Amino acid sequence: MAAKTLKTVPKISVKIWRPIIEKLDAKIDKACLRRDAYLAKILEVELGWLDEEVSIPNTQASYDHVLERLDQLDRKLVSLALPSDLTARLNEICSRKRIVRDAFFNRLFLLLAVSPAVVDKLLFRYIGSAWRSAV
């Protein structure tokens, strides 16, 4: 019998606000998905949008402010096994645009964890669910 070689995927750590990660983990479990594989597929698309939509880098002051505000939350350290090319792309975009990586993940996890009605209230307060027909 030949010995199997395990392909190791590098891990990154992010701190996620506890209520968000608990809600997302419950949804992932209920859907019988593998969280890190699911996130890798999402990030393949979302990183392009992140790079495009943040047209100019944040100021260092805004970066520091976001980092300080995040530190005030009850966050849980989460390890994510993501492909190294995806992690490198993520880190490059966050560095170039001065985006706090943990803030990006907290927002992404929030949007994945909440119901469509909550997304409507958070992002489309004035147009409600009408945005879905335009997508």
> Is the separation of the CB atoms in 11 and 87 below 8 Å?
no
Confidence of residue 49 (pLDDT cuts 50, 70, 90): very high
Question: What is the band of 115 on the pLDDT scale with cuts at 50, 70, 90?
Answer: confident
pLDDT number for residue 135: 55
pTM, full prediction: 0.82
- Find the mean pLDDT for residues 12-24: 96
Report the pLDDT averaged over residues 68-86: 96
Q: Measured between alpha carbons, how far is 80 from 103 in angstroms, rounded to an integer?
A: 15
Percent of the chain scored above 70 by pLDDT? 82
CA distances, 121 to each of 13, 24, 127 (Å): 30, 19, 9
3-state SS, residue 97: helix
| All structural domains of the chain with their residue ranges | 11-134
Stronger pLDDT, 128 or 9, i.e. the higher one? 9
pLDDT in tens, 80-104: 999 999 999 999 999 999 999 999 9
